[in-house]
Structure 1
Amino acid sequence: MPHRELPPSIMQRSILLIWPALLFILAVADCACALTLEGQLLLRFKSLILVDPLGILNNWNSFDADPCRWNGVGCDNASTPAVVTLSLPRAQLQGSLAADLGGLTHLRHLNLHHNHLSGPIPAAIFNATQLQSLFLFSNNLSGSLPSLLNRLSALQSLDLSHNSFSGMIPASPLANCTRLFSLSLSHNSFSGPAPAAIGSSLLSLRRLDLSYNSLTGTIPESFGDLPSLVDTLDLSHNRLSGAIPASLASLPANVTLDLSFNNLTGPIPQEGTLAKQGISAFLGNPGLCGTPLSALCLVPPSPFMAAAQSRNRGLSKGAIAAIVVGDVAGVALVCLIFLYCYWRAFSQKKTSGKGVSSSTPSSVGLGGQRPSWLCTKTATMDMLPEAFDQGDLVALDGEVTFDLDELLKASAYVLGKSGVGIVYKVILSDELTVAVRRLGDSGAHRFREFQAEVEAIGRVRHPNIVRLRAYYWAVDEKLLVYNYIPNGSLASVLNGQSSEPLRWAARLKIVKGAARGLAFLHEQGPSRKFCHGDIKPSNILLDCQMEPYIADYGLNRLLSIVGSGVPTSAQVGKVSVSSRSSTGSGLSFGAGVSPEDVHYQAPETALSKSIKPTQKGDVFSLGMVMLQLLTGKLQVLSPAEEVELSQWIEAALQGKEPLLRILDPVLVEEMHHADDMLTFLKIALACVAPQPEQRPSMRLLHESVTRIGTPLSSS
């Protein structure tokens, strides 16, 4: 057929239809060429994300040549920006990790926790050798821990907890990460021995959590050689066996130790840090014995007894007679000493009643002197008031209806043991339960100071402050008796020990009550400058209606008077004949809940122990509690988490990011309170200002939070 040309009009219409498509293709090609290599690597990561229900990755596309503007991507401020942070936590992403992330050679922080990522960690990810923090916890990741982890010599924080990793924990790769200060591999399926190299190499480690795995063997002795461990050593819920290494007693004093629910055996060493742990640190080990457990350790036979048993019936009649005579002589000597003491006491009482002169000898003993070790009181006891010669319970109000004898005979449950004493829940009757703190056995010469201090504390009466009801003073025992608050502490609720989630109304109520109580202390306490100095979640107690009570105010001053020593194991048992561990919700006064944490202290106080606590320091501490209540973050944040949290907060305040990005997941369902939450956040940020003069007073803080939300009755 002869070739027919299209009419010009048809050709023109065809070109007009095709031309836009050609321009679109060229534009796409041009954008793809303009996209940086790091942007292309991030898009490969996105390609492996199968589900993105929140649309977090919607602005990740090749049309935007600058990946630094994408959600969750952070870059440095250099002339040629490089990706240093990839942070997409709690985004509900489903998919797997891309090996291409290892190509981000400047990446320092990778935070993908609380998603639904599955599969193994690609070994190529560890090509990003500048990583300082790697947070992949709370996903569905599996497989073993790659040996290429040893490339991350700059790694400071590694958290792979709450996944499905298995196999042995490799020792050599971890040992190369000498800058690690936080390591958490808990809630996985790791097996085999706990690597001893952790204790011998990771000398900067402040937190170690290997709990809820299947580790076997003994606890490495080297775990006691971690000089920087100031937070937690958690080896609970494994299959560890053998004795508790005595080296653990050398760990820093404020470490919280958890060895519960293993197969450990033998006596618990009563030294150093081990002696300061509560009963919860050793539960679930049927073979353990000794304080603070109720199981007594069997005393091994002495060498003499062992030799006697080995000889069996080898003793002659003469030897047996000699032993009997010696025993009788010993008993007779004890009886003579007792009779001598009784005679001296009776004669002194008789002569004093007849008004003997001062020239009459007061005692007759060896060489005309009464032996100092025989039948005498200490000089310190003689100097105390007569009422305290034997020790009396002193009531601080007229409502105390029990006496010392009733207190000592009542059932007592050990709530916790810490560096500031043991705390008991004491049930005096069906209607009356109190909390009793033991302060140790030192400071006998400073009774007058102690008396003045406890009486000043006892005068503080407020519905949001734990009330001091009575106290007991003796040389070898000092007790503080408080009202018992039945619902535990805010720390136990935030740590997941409550069956019900903490809703927004309850959180707001807690802050309002705490601020009200602290404002009262600041303005109407024993002096106008009175402050608490140690506000943290474990010192905010809750009743059954979630009403808060400030605890432990004035305790630091009392400890400076009597000393901070915990009662020795020999003294435990004087308070009650039925001390037991309480499994209920009565944990109070921060004992056994958590160590002292400087993260709640104001910078000017935490940096120098010589600076006394201040009221503005209390404001800072309560501000930190407010941030924790809003974000769900624990008080101990790694540098990467601090960067992440500050970025979220700044973006939320500027309206660039939704508030839900920084919220505790429990609060996401209550976004109808978003305006109140944003106001709450602004108040908290004002409280944690770096300079004390920039922070509000506690009274202004209380007035500000009181204006937030609905009346308390709705909570």
Structure 2
Amino acid sequence: MIFTCFLPSLADNAQVLLNFKNLLTNADALNNWGNQSIGLCSWTGILCFNQTFHGLRLENMGLRGNISVDTLLELSRLNSFSVINNSFEGPMPAFKKLVSLRALFLSNNKFSGEILDDAFEGMTRLKRVFLAENEFTGHIPASLAKLPKLLDVDLHGNSFGGNIPEFQQRDFRVFDLSNNKLEGQIPESLSNKDPKSFAGNEGLCGEPLSPCMASPPSVPSPNSSKGKKLKNDVILTAGVVVGVILLASILAFLIIRYRRKKHVTVEDALPHSVNSVSTSEAKSIVVTQESMTSEDGGLNFVGREKGGFELQDLLRASAEVLGSGSFGSTYKALLLNGPVVVVKRFKHMNNVGKKEFYEHMKRLGRLSHPNLLPLVAFYYGKEEKLLVHDFAENGSLASHLHGKGGCVLDWASRLKIIKGVARGLAYLYEEFPDEALPHGHLKSSNVVLDHSLEPRLAEYGLVRVVEKKHAQQFMVGYKSPEVSQFERASEKSDVWCLGILILEVLTGRFPASYLRHGKGASEDLAAWVESIVREGWIDGEIRGKGNGEGEMVKLLRIGMGCCEWSLERRWGWREAVAKIEELKETDAGDHGTEGDHFYSSSLSLDDFVSISK
């Protein structure tokens, strides 16, 4: 995803934003707006890419007042606009004036009234629309259903009524119309959606819900015995039909439920993430009663305070299972009148003392970097622990590289992600100078992306509190050659994982054998790399999209340097990060020769000797 902008300047945008802020109330969270010493891109809630403004993320700030679309029109570019979990009310503003908008997030406010049928007309670039948990009424606007690029639509928790319109798109990543007042038959084009997408709409029928009942047939006058017999036959037949339908519905429900449960538990071969693009079965977060003893406290908030909910609120929250991996289950929890958070259950920290666990979690909570997924809170139980993190809207890097619902990542997006990963890893190295594995579990499913595709590292800094035997079996930091051969991690083991991630991002290929459980998995990297050389190492999705061929080759060499089998020859983290920072989206000079070599998709095996020994 490439964001470019020339005019107006950042200074012009700054004045427009200040004008926008002046129309808001309760805007104390935006007090640093106008601070020239830190620059516009460091203002709270401002999204920039390469020092170019592209969006607003004003979430969880208690904001009220007037959202002036006319003022927003004066910005150089506005790709994303989010005011999730604030206190805005009244009709939905005329966002259709913002024709370049790609993402609109209005969930968890007090917007109300009908949305005009043409409210989204002309917004041909809009991909994401989140209007959940407001007070909207009337029909779902037809113009929303006609958006050509719509991928995510979440309207749950409103009072939309009438029939569901025919949506032009078919392959949604997020689709949720639950808990409204919709009625009638579900369009056939939506019959393959999760039934929970339509739950709480008593008037809806048709696949994937129960079949719609046909109008009862007319029967002869009951005055004749023949008519009476026919009427009785009709009633009997109708009863049998209803019984069959009910039985079929129950069987279908059980089959769907079984498949979903299977999906959650057996999909370990596919990389799971802290936030997956697709969601699974909705349920509540379950903590065993044995773990909740009287000496266990409630939620312990760390870092920036996020009040407003307690442990019981979290356990009662509507939750979606995002994954079930080697450490435990991961949930996306939607708190009542609260934020969306991700909850990770850990069952392999049982030998960690309470004091040690508290101290380490508070240390993690003090970490602050734009490329780390912030830890919000934790819960300590004897049998299991909970870690609560912010929610990243765009799921994991793995889901985009390998999943069916991910978006195409061009070279600029992949370079942006690798740079962010490198910066986050460098920060961890600086904060944990005495740790051999400051991250310990760096892989594509533990890199999550926010709504502007900014990467955030997840599941970092946990080596100290995870059972050693379990860590050695499952954490990818222990797959490096030095651990496999000498059972000793080094300062360069996380760099090894960075190298694997770079190769995965460039090739679009998932290193399944490398990530298998147990020791010796790193030895399969040679075969993986050789297959890349043999079959073409560059992901077809980024071929011919820009003039960055030479820069891609440079990144490949950096990945190779990070994957050196020999510790002496393997790059250190400072060298790797410095080289990554030098990379550009386009080649600085003539890239014809190197580009031709790049596109030949047959780099010499000698180029890979150092990592395929």
TM-score (norm 1): 0.38
* Structure showing greater Rg: 1
TM-score (norm 2): 0.44
